[in-house]
């Protein structure tokens, strides 16, 4: 069975600090995809990034960066120079293929990390 | 209007009421999903629809009844709910119906449901 662990329940930082959100996953699949979503207080899960299991290159998008390490089954997310608007719950997720042709893929989510950024 | 929309955003109902949640996606996607998000629990997948056909029912109690009249609309009919059903109900959609694990799900803002 697939599993995603986000051990950090809550993190509080002061604005402009860097913060890393950890994600560890378990899967027996050799091909899989990992995702990060942001859930602000409004409730909507906002897609941030998708990474496949064959691409271990780190990715940077503005203040966001992701470190994928297959050897440790981790896909960590770093926010540089955090801002108050980054306050949200962040979810890591792992996809598995559908059960057969014509079935949709499924996501396994972690329990989320609540990030609080204060002035 | 773009993305995935859900109505109502908030709903309070008694245990004997019947209500429906609505989800609409404007992305041209072919798969739609219902999730339940309770406090301090991972998102729970409830139902998956693929080209209007239900392909997943994750052991959801019969008091939750989904309906997908077309690829753009998804409903969740509620009846005789329990207080423990209070949660945020999220709808999502994705483009590819063929079990493509690279498929990204896009979520609506959710309906905050309170059962009294």
Round to whole Å and give the CA distance between B49 and B56: 7
> What average pLDDT is seen over chain A?
91
Task: Identify which of A36, A39, A34 has the alpha carbon closest to the alpha carbon of residue A21.
Answer: A36
pLDDT tens across A67-118, in order? 999 999 999 999 999 999 999 999 999 987 655 555 666 789 999 999 999 9
pLDDT tens across A31-74, in order? 899 999 999 998 899 999 999 898 888 888 999 999 999 999 99
Among the partner-chain residues A43, A47, A100, the one whose CB lies closest to the CB of B99 is A100
Are A15 and A82 a contacting pair, CB within 8 Å?
Answer: yes
* pLDDT at site B26: 94
Residues on chain A touching B108 (C-beta within 8 angstroms) = 44
Are B6 and B108 a contacting pair, CB within 8 Å?
Answer: yes
pLDDT tens across B6-63, in order? 999 999 998 888 999 999 999 999 999 999 999 878 899 999 998 878 877 778 999 9
Are A104 and B31 a contacting pair, CB within 8 Å?
Answer: yes
Provide φ and ψ at B49, rounded to 5°. -120, 135
CA distance to partner chain B, nearest, from residue A108 (Å): 8
Residue A90 touches partner B, C-beta closer than 8 Å? no
More confident of the two residues A5 and B39: A5
* pLDDT at site A107: 87
Residues on chain B touching A104 (C-beta within 8 angstroms) = 31, 33, 48-50, 55-56, 94, 96-97, 99, 103
Surface-to-core class of residue B79, CB atoms within 10 Å of its CB (0-12 exposed, 13-18 middle, 19+ buried): middle
Scanning the structure block, which residue is given the tokens 């989800």? B23
Are B73 and B23 a contacting pair, CB within 8 Å?
Answer: yes
B4 — pLDDT class (breaks 50, 70, 90)? very high
**Three-state SS annotation for B44-63:** EEEEEEECCEEEEECCCCCC
Residues on chain B touching A6 (C-beta within 8 angstroms) = none
């Amino acid at each position: 069975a697939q599993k995603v662990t986000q051990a950090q329940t809550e993190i509080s930082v002061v604005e402009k600090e860097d913060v890393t959100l950890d994600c560890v996953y378990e899967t027996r699949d050799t091909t899989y995809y990992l995702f990060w979503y942001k859930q602000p207080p409004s409730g909507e899960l906002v897609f941030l990034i998708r990474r496949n299991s064959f691409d271990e290159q780190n990715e940077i998008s503005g203040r966001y960066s992701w470190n994928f390490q297959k050897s440790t089954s981790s896909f960590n997310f770093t926010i540089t120079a955090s801002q108050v608007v980054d306050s949200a719950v962040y979810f890591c997720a792992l996809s598995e293929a559908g059960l057969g042709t014509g079935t949709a893929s499924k996501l396994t989510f972690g329990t989320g990390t609540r990030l609080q950024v204060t002035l | 209007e773009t993305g995935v929309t859900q109505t109502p955003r908030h709903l309070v109902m008694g245990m004997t009421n019947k209500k429906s949640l609505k989800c609409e996606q404007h992305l041209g996607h072919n798969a739609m999903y219902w999730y339940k998000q309770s406090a301090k629990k991972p998102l729970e997948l409830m139902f998956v629809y693929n080209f209007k056909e239900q392909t997943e029912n994750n052991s959801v109690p019969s008091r939750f009844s989904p309906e997908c009249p077309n690829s753009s609309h998804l409903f969740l009919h509620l009846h005789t709910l329990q207080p423990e059903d209070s949660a945020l109900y999220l709808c999502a959609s994705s483009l590819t119906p063929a079990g493509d694990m690279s498929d990204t799900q896009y979520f609506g803002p959710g309906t905050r449901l309170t059962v009294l």
